[in-house]
C-alpha cells in the first residue's frame, strides 16, 4: 500500500501491510522554563530522527536505556526462565551433611550415656569372698 494521507492531525503513513506507521515526539522537561519541550522527532514514513535545538537528551545517569529489559517485557526470556540450580544443590547438600553429622553425633552421645549407666562394680569382690577360707570359684 505505502501511502500517505493528510488528516486534521497531520500526515498518516500506511505501509505495504496496511499498518499505520506513527510519528513520535520525544519530550524532555526543561528545568529553566518548567515545561516540557520537544527534543526529538521521529518520522515513521521515512524512518528518520530529527534532533531539535541541537541539544542532547538527558538520560538518567547519562546512559541510554536498553531497548528491551533483561528478562523481556513479559519476563519470559530464556535467561530468566531457566534457573540455575547450583545454589539449590549446594544448600541441599549442606543441609543433608548437617543432618547426617547431627545424627552421628547424637547417636554417639546416646551410646556413651547408655554405657555409663552400667558400672563395672560387679567384678570387685568383697573381702569375705577373697578370704582364703572361701574356696568357691568365681567366673567373670
Distance of CA 58 to the CA centre of its chain: 31
Per-position DSSP letters for 33-59, written without gaps between them: TTEEEEEEEEETTTTEEEESTT-----
pLDDT at 119: 64
What pLDDT is recorded for position 104?
Answer: 97
Q: From CA 58, how far away is CA 62, in angstroms rounded?
A: 6
Quick one: pLDDT at residue 98?
97
pLDDT of the chain, 140 residues: tens digit per residue: 678 888 776 778 888 888 888 888 888 888 888 898 888 888 877 778 888 876 677 778 888 888 888 888 888 888 787 777 788 889 999 999 999 999 999 999 999 888 877 666 666 667 776 665 555 565 55
The residue with cell 526462565 is 81
- pLDDT score for 133: 54
Phi, psi of 36 (to 5 degrees): -85, 145
**So what's the pLDDT on residue 108?**
95
Distances (CA, A) of 140 to 114, 125, 135: 22, 11, 16
- CA-based torsion, 66, 69, 72, 78: positive or negative: positive
Would you state the pLDDT for residue 106?
96
pLDDT of res. 1: 67
Task: Give CA angle at 33 (30, 37), nearest 5°.
Answer: 45
Amino acid at each position: 500500500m505505502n501511502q500517505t494521507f493528510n488528516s486534521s492531525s497531520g500526515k498518516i503513513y500506511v505501509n505495504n501491510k496496511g499498518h499505520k506507521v506513527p510519528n513520535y515526539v520525544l519530550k524532555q522537561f526543561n528545568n529553566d522554563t518548567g515545561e516540557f519541550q520537544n527534543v526529538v522527532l521521529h518520522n515513521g514514513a521515512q524512518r528518520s530522527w530529527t534532533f531539535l535545538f541541537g541539544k542532547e537528551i538527558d538520560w538518567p545517569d547519562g546512559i541510554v536505556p536498553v531497548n528491551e529489559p533483561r528478562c523481556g517485557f513479559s519476563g519470559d526470556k530464556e535467561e530468566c526462565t531457566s534457573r540455575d540450580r547450583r545454589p539449590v544443590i549446594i544448600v541441599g547438600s549442606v543441609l543433608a551433611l548437617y543432618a547426617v553429622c547431627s545424627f552421628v553425633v547424637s547417636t554417639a552421645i546416646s551410646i556413651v550415656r547408655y554405657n555409663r549407666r552400667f558400672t563395672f562394680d560387679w567384678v570387685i569382690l568383697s573381702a569375705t569372698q577373697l578370704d582364703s577360707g572361701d574356696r568357691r570359684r568365681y567366673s567373670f
